[in-house]
Amino acid sequence: MRATKILALTCVRGESMSTLKTIKLSLVDRVSITAKMEAICPVTKTVDKYDITIEYVPNSNGIYIELKSLRKFLDSYKRREIYHEDLANEIAKYIYEIAKPKKLSIKLESNYVGMKVTVIKELKYDNYRSTP
């Protein structure tokens, strides 16, 4: 049985972002998704290019992030000014709100002024509290 749940997400400035969707499927132990994405550095105003890894343990209801909507969601950051750490936190928040996985890890990797930067945000369902 497949069911889709839609949650409309908006960024801090009120600009419309792409809709992130979920799909209900049979359970697996873990999901790992690796993709490329971009955002704008608030300091230098240049494009930050990221390798993002999203890993999660689905909840017992078998709720998964729908991949096409995830691609559009990640692409919606292309023109957005945001720090690495805020980006990891924001993506984690939105994925948690819609899919409610047991565990979630967001890993962002980029090269910034000649340095490799890795930012990791990890959440567990039992200790996550959404902030307004």
Full domain range(s) for residue 49: 4-127
Residue type, 87: L
Q: What is the pTM of this model?
A: 0.84
Residue 122 placed within a domain: yes
Full pLDDT tens readout for the chain, 132 residues = 455 555 544 444 445 457 889 999 999 999 999 999 999 999 999 999 999 999 999 999 999 999 999 999 999 999 999 999 999 999 999 999 999 999 999 999 999 888 999 999 999 876 555 443
Both tokens assigned to 81: 């000014």
As for how many domains the chain has, the answer is 1
Residue 86 placed within a domain: yes
Phi, psi of 79, rounded to the nearest 5 degrees: -105, 15
Phi, psi of 59, rounded to the nearest 5 degrees: -75, 175
What is the CATH classification number for the domain harbouring 14?
3.30.1130.10
Phi-psi region of 98 (alpha: psi -120 to 50; beta: other; left: phi over 0): alpha
Residue 132 placed within a domain: no
